[in-house]
Amino acid sequence: MSQLSQVLREMISQEGPISVERYMALALGHPTHGYYMSREPFGAAGDFTTAPEISQMFGELIGLWAAEVWSQMGAPAAIRLVEIGPGRGTLMADALRAARVAPAFRAALSVHLVETSPLLSERQRAALADAGVPVFWHTSPADVPQGPAIFLANEFFDALPVRQFVRTQAGWCERMVGLDPAGHFVFGLSSEPEPYLSAEAPVGALLEVGAEGQRTMTALSARIMAQGGALLAIDYGHTRTDLGETLQAVRDHRYADPLENPGEADLTTHVDFAALGRAAKSTGCAVHGPVTQGAFLNQLGLAQRALALAKRAAPEQVGAIEAAVRRLAGPGPIDGPDASMGELFKAIAVSRRDLGPLPGFSEEPLA
Ligand code: SAH
């Protein structure tokens, strides 16, 4: 039994069932036993692999994207480059290296990493030791000092807790986690329906509401409106708000039961890009995309970047570079031997309206 299981069992025995949102928040972020607090989840030895860990090209293209956005902003003398949920710091290290081609941008930069995990903050410190720009750490985006800023978030929104509601005869009841007589975690429902939810749906339908993600997006967009800048978020998810459960647990590169051993598996949900877009628009910002990760990276010049890398690579590395291109941007399923992130993953950006079109987003937004 995981240590967190014991903590949650005691909590539920004393206070009664907790919401799925609270369960997810504790499973990931409990100060000592939370998944991100206690381990390094990425890579072959970890539980899952993210785009920056697949290839340096991902972070490099995003670094060039940020330099271009800064230039569209009128090249302000000071710009904060902020990454939320930076993992091992790989994306930022690759982005800063690529940005060497834009020395004026690098000279204007201060880097701000928003991270809740002390362990991952240490990894980021090591990855950025030679970055050559000032780097600061914060535990909340609200702590990033005022001023124009470019925000990056890769696989951050999928890690934020969601509320789940189930349609009953009486209305939408919140899904809770309780204990069965044997002491195992089980799903249940709140006794009173949620008075603010009125969407029509058949009895039994499930609705996920990413309230924390929407609050975060609203706050960052409001800041961009007031102080200038842009935000780029890349994640897996859907482009329309829809019914259905997407909460999933992944451990050791395999799906697991979300209620089994909380704290030892990654818990995520698919991001509702439509809801994030609405949150951003509510502040007056322009929303770019969502477009597929494949379309975004291809427009930024993934193929050219791969060719340039391959020219300098040893012959035996060329195959790996081509495989990375397919994995990052190719079509196809997310699982299996030909797994690819190109379609399920989406990119969305937010900016003030006066910034104009942003690089990577000239394709029609996905409906
Ligand atoms: N962007 C990285 C890591 C993705 S995993 C990559 O692509 O490889 C999610 C990251 O978000 C981890 O660094 C995790 O510690 C961080 N995180 C999760 N919840 C957070 C929160 N509420 N605030 C800040 N960071 C958070």
HEC assignment per residue over 168-214: ECCEEEEEEEEECCCCCEEEEEEEEECCCCCCCCCCCCEEEECHHHH
CB 336 within 8 A of CB 327: no
- Residue 302: name the closest of 330, 273, 332 by CA: 330
- The whole-number pLDDT of residue 337 equals 67
Question: Range with the lowest mean pLDDT among 125-139, 294-308, 338-352?
Answer: 338-352
Any atom of ligand 1 within 6 Å of the Cβ of 42: yes
Please give the CATH number for the structural domain made up of 3-351.
Answer: 3.40.50.12710
Domains of the chain by residue range: 3-351
Each residue's pLDDT tens digit, 110-159:
999 999 999 999 999 999 999 999 999 999 999 999 999 999 999 999 99
Residue nearest ligand 1's atom 11 by CA: 85
Tokens of 218: 């609203």
The C-alpha angle 103, 108, 110, rounded to 5 degrees, equals 115
Tokens of 15: 């206070």
Mean pLDDT to the nearest integer, 203-208? 97
Each residue's pLDDT tens digit, 240-296:
989 999 999 999 889 999 999 999 999 999 999 999 999 999 999 999 999 999 999
For residue 159, the CA-to-ligand 1 centroid distance in Å is 7
- How far apart CA 193 and CA 126 sit, in angstroms, is 49
Select from 22, 26, 30, 36 the residue to mutate for testing ligand 1; criterion: most ligand atoms less than 8 Å from CB.
Answer: 36
In the predicted structure, residue 336 carries a pLDDT above the cut 80: no
What atom in ligand 1 is closest to the CA of residue 37? 15
Any atom of ligand 1 within 6 Å of the Cβ of 89: no
Q: What is the DSSP string of 236-257?
A: EEESS---S---EEEETTEEE-
Any atom of ligand 1 within 6 Å of the Cβ of 53: yes
Q: Provide Rg for the chain, Cα atoms.
A: 21
Phi/psi for 188 (5° steps) reads -150, -170
DSSP conformational letter for 264? S
What atom in ligand 1 is closest to the CA of residue 51? 7
Tokens of 35: 């998944």
Query: At a CB cut-off of 8 Å and minimum separation 6, what does 186 contact?
Result: 177, 178, 179, 180, 259
Select from 115, 214, 269 the residue to mutate for testing ligand 1; criterion: most ligand atoms less than 8 Å from CB.
Answer: 115
Any atom of ligand 1 within 6 Å of the Cβ of 116: yes
Distances (CA, A) of 99 to 11, 63, 177, 278, 310: 48, 6, 46, 31, 20
For residue 113, the CA-to-ligand 1 centroid distance in Å is 10
Any atom of ligand 1 within 6 Å of the Cβ of 156: yes
SS3 of 11, please?
A: helix
Mean pLDDT to the nearest integer, 75-98? 98
Tell me the whole-structure pTM to 2 decimals: 0.96
Report the mean per-residue pLDDT for the chain: 95
